[in-house]
Each structure stands twice: as structure tokens, then as C-alpha cells.
Amino acid sequence: MGQRAAVYCRVSTGDQSCERQELDLAAFAQRGHYDVVSVFRETESGNRTDRIERGKVIALARDRQIEVILVTELTRWGRSTTDLLASLQELEACGVSVIAQTGLQFDLRSPQGKLFSSLMAALAEFERDLLRERVRSGIAAAKRRGVRFGRQLGVRVKADRYTDRVLHLRAQGQSYRAIAQTLRLSKNTVMEIIQRHSAAQAVTDEKA
């Protein structure tokens, strides 16, 4: 009997199918004498962090129910260099390796795997540096166009959205607590809206 394996297939959109990946990996598993425990199919963008099926595969690894994970290519498994390295390190602790259909085995315990890990770590840091630089450049360009970041002084987006309803309920004689429960706001937000309105009304009355 060969090593126990989980097959993981992923496509990005609903109009795609995992069928081709599954067939290719079934043939690959047969050639490599892997004992396929289960097949997992996922339709999810590689950028999403909540890939449920991949989480199930990792759970099998943690429970020591599999020894390898079969994928058509690494981009099907990892979302990014950082994510790929982190997941491989977690799998290493479970004694599980990822094997691509090309036959490349990513086992961080082997000399090849350790070299791969070092290269991945360097690439992950490079990716982070690029991302930080893009963010800084984007913010600088936006500021030059006059875009203002952060909460602006005097702006109360949530409070302004609920002002009319809070004042209407208050005029009906409801307490701060009752208004807060009705509108699902904090009591402090309700008090702030009413006090701000009262202050503004007092200024208007003085001018009149």
C-alpha cells in the first residue's frame, strides 16, 4: 500500500470545472502508487482567505490521516508566496508534504525542501516590500490629487445617518436606552446625536 494522499482541486470561477484536475491527479496517484483517501474540490478565487475545502485537507494532515497532498500545480494550493510558505511549514510539522503533478515534492524536511523554503522566504519578503512600496506610492499619488485620508474632523458618518430617526423617537418620548435598542446603536451614540442637535438648536435660537 502506498502513502495516504488527499487530492485537492481548485478553480477560480463557477463556470470552470475541477473535473480535468481530478482526472489528471487520479492518473498521477495511480502511477505513483498513492492511496487516495479523499478528493476535495473548491471553486474559489486564489485571493480569498476562507477556502473551506483546503481547510479540511489541512485538518486531515493535523489528524495524521494523510501523508501527502496532491495538486496539479502549486498555484492551486497557495494564495501567495507568503501563504504557500506558511502552509508548507504547517504541513511539515504534521509530517505531510505537497506533491505537484509535475512530480516535484515539497517536503521542507529534505535538503531540497530546505533550499526551497529559504528561497520562498526571500521571495515572500520581496513580495511584502513590493506591496508596501505600491501602497506608499498610491497614497502619495492620491494626496497629490487632493484625496484626504482618515476620518475628517467633524465628520460623523454613522451618527449623521441615524440623526433623523433618533430625534423622531426621542420626540415620541423614548429613552436613550430604548432608542439605542430599537436602532441597534450604542447608548453613547444616541446621547451624542441628541446633545449635538440640542447644542445646534440652542445656537440657532440665540441667533434668532
Measure the CA–CA gap between 106 and 117, rounded to whole angstroms. Answer: 9
Walk along the chain (208 residues) and give the pLDDT tens digit of each residue.
688 999 999 988 777 889 999 999 999 999 989 999 999 999 876 556 678 899 999 999 999 999 999 999 888 888 777 788 888 888 888 889 888 887 677 766 677 667 766 776 676 676 666 677 777 777 777 778 777 665 554 545 566 778 888 888 888 888 988 888 888 888 888 888 888 888 777 766 666 5
Q: pTM of the predicted model, to two decimals?
A: 0.56
Measure the CA–CA gap between 202 and 197, rounded to whole angstroms. Answer: 9
SS3 category, 57: helix
Q: What DSSP assignment string belongs to 38-56?
A: EEEEEE--TT-S--HHHHH
Cβ-based neighbour number of residue 191 at 10 Å = 15
pLDDT of 153: 46
Domain positions in the chain are 4-108, 155-192
pLDDT of 2: 81
Q: Cell 451618527, residue?
A: 159
Tell me the CATH number of domain 4-108, given options 3.30.565.10, 3.40.50.1390, 3.60.15.10, 3.30.1540.20. 3.40.50.1390
8 Å CB contact between 179 and 170: yes
Helices (H), the chain: 19-32, 52-62, 74-77, 81-93, 111-144, 157-171, 176-183, 187-207
8 Å CB contact between 180 and 190: yes
From the list 104, 101, 72, 77, the residue with the least C-alpha distance to 90 is 77
pLDDT of 124: 63
Measure the CA–CA gap between 188 and 200, rounded to whole angstroms. Answer: 18
Strands 35-43 and 105-106: unpaired
